[in-house]
Structure 1
Amino acid sequence: MTASGQSAGPLAGVRVVEMGQLLAGPFCGQLLGDLGADVVKIEDPAKGDPLRQWGRQLPQGQSLWWSVVGRNKRSVTLNLRDPEGQELARQLIAGADVLVENFRPGTMERWGLGFAELQELNPGLVMVRVSGFGQDGPYSQRAGYGAIGEAMGGLRYVVGDPSTPPSRVGISIGDTLAALFATIGALAALQERQTSGRGQIVDSAIYEAVLGVMESLVPEWQVTGYQRERTGAVLPNVAPSNVYPTQDGQWLLIAANQDTVFARLAKAMDAPELADDPRYASHGARGERQEELDNRIAAFTSALDAEKLEALLEEHGVPSGRIFRPVDMFADPQFQARESITEVDHPVLGPVAMQNVFPRLSRTRGTVRWPGPELGAHTAEVLAGIGVDPDALAQLRASGVA
């Protein structure tokens, strides 16, 4: 533990330089920083990461989204389009373990910051490259956003109600999936470096990250010709597993598709005979009568308020859960017991609540040490570490380099 009583985290001592902006690369940097890495984020001196202005709510002009994605990072301003800014970046990267970037492929090479050049400076460097379509292939030079990767990776087609056009998940899931795969790749490359002493490139494409979580979608088509379609709130032939209305206007998700669990649900419904009814007795039979069964369960759930219904189902060992909003999360004892939501002091807004660090480690748990910093808040201290004195920094700032 540190002097403050917080764990240094399992990645304490790992140095990360983060470039790029918005979400895919920066979320990878957030995850590494959450686990204790020293993350130096390089931003444009004029505006910084556009995420500083993003979000549906900007209290006192502060982006709450940035307070999360920028947390645990040190902000350094450098103009990477300027040769002097590029040289300072090289000096920072020379002492780094990991470089994270999510520019369009070829950008780093045009700046003299390609992997070949950087590996000469730092043979052990792990270079994490997040992009829409990867570093090669005919689409690599296309502008690649998370939404495009979600569409190309197969997710958009299967999300939503069959009566509507393909829908989107309500968060930037393509970007965050690419960042998760990038983080896994970075950790794997750091582990391999312990044996070889050499760094390597981690190439995380958004569309491939989405494709990677699409379950058996590909072999279903290749082997059987089966094309998954949009199915709304259910999985076809998996019943009962749906959201059901309650008397007090809430929704409760009930997952009782296993035979033994369905028998417990039937007992909770005061209709134990349903478990032996040939129409519902097997997984296949329930799947064939999915809509009919869902309507029957909805009639049962609609007669009880959510709290009583949840308690009844818990008593009978039936997996269930309310559809949570933030207000529910703050009040929930499970969230409270595990500190799933934490508070961090913001210099402008005061205490700001946000999701904690996941997963948790038993000895070296990651922590949120500070929220997303002000633009360039750490430029002086970081550049001093590579020999830039205050007078030189003043000149760099006057010329727009830092």
Structure 2
Amino acid sequence: MNESLLRELVPAVIGVLVRRGADFAAAEDAVQDALVEAVRVWPEDPPRDPKGWLVTVAWRKFLDAARADVSRRHREARVEDEPAPGPAGAVDDTLQLYFLCAHPSLTPASAVALTLRAVGGLTTRQIAQAYLVPEATMAQRISRAKRTVSGVRLDRPGDVATVLRVLYLVFNEGYSGDVDLAAEAIRLTRRLAARIDHEEVAGLLALMLLHHARRPARTGPDGRLVPLAEQDRGLWDTRLIAEGVEVLQAALGRDRLGEFQAQAAVAALHADAPTAEETDWVQIVEWYDELVRLTGSPVARLNRAVAVGEADGPRAGLAALAGLDPALPRHTAVTAYLHERDGDLATAARLYAEAARTAPSLPERDHLTRQAARLNARLRD
């Protein structure tokens, strides 16, 4: 039973049903029912045309549901004649489903869940486990999202930027449950890149690959967070780095810079440095200047302050923090780091402890707590 093949076919099959007249919610439900049937039947009787088989079964499931629902009699009249079983055809609606699942009317959380379900082919249980919420809660979220987009037609260009932000949200969730969301986001972004010629799609793919390449070095054997400067670079995946750099160079060569390309360029400079001490911080500052120009993002300004602190000294980094909201996530941790670099250990220890209390994750909280303890021990000596 090829589970990955099933997941690859899901968006195309949903697209076929939508083109035949099913609304999105009904099509998605019918395809999920067909997948259950495939899991039962395929191990003993694998089809010669898996996509055609899924289309035929899903269409029958849709018709059965339509005929059983009195309120859908008007739709039943449109779809009464079932198309004959056979090859599903070469039309691919996957790209349109990316746009639909990232529709602006959806909240980011709903868009992520719907994308993982309809485009990624994950089950509700898998998505719920990945996001550490009850399955019933996730089922309600997905149902609401499907109802929201059911009336949206798949006949207009979608917003690429919104799709990319949804995929980036998936990537940043990392790993939990039995689904590796970072790997899933890379898989979906690869598929998107194969269907649309867009420099920012390539930029996001490059960014994901370059960040994912460092994953094996991000935590120690005891599960502790390992900062970038302290990572064992021998653990980085050089194959992913090479691919990410190649994808990025091709995107930059089109001379239409976007925020994901700029972020990927920063990641590439980190990946290119044999040691932390050899990092080209001056060039990283220049890329953050571009990113701030493109987005005006406070987070980009915060990261730029770190880079300035490395390139021009900690006091220059602290000066670059001026004007940023201290409530910005990780602002206190960055300030602590720059004060430590400047030799003010007492202030740094206090700020590390303060940052730990508001850390967004348990590993980060533990890391900041250890930083505070380390400096307090030095102050006592």
TM interval, short-chain normalised: under 0.3
Greater relative contact order: 1 or 2 (C-alpha under 8 angstroms, separation 6 or more)? 1
More helix by share: 2
More strand by share: 1
Q: What's the TM-score once normalised by structure 1's chain length?
A: 0.23
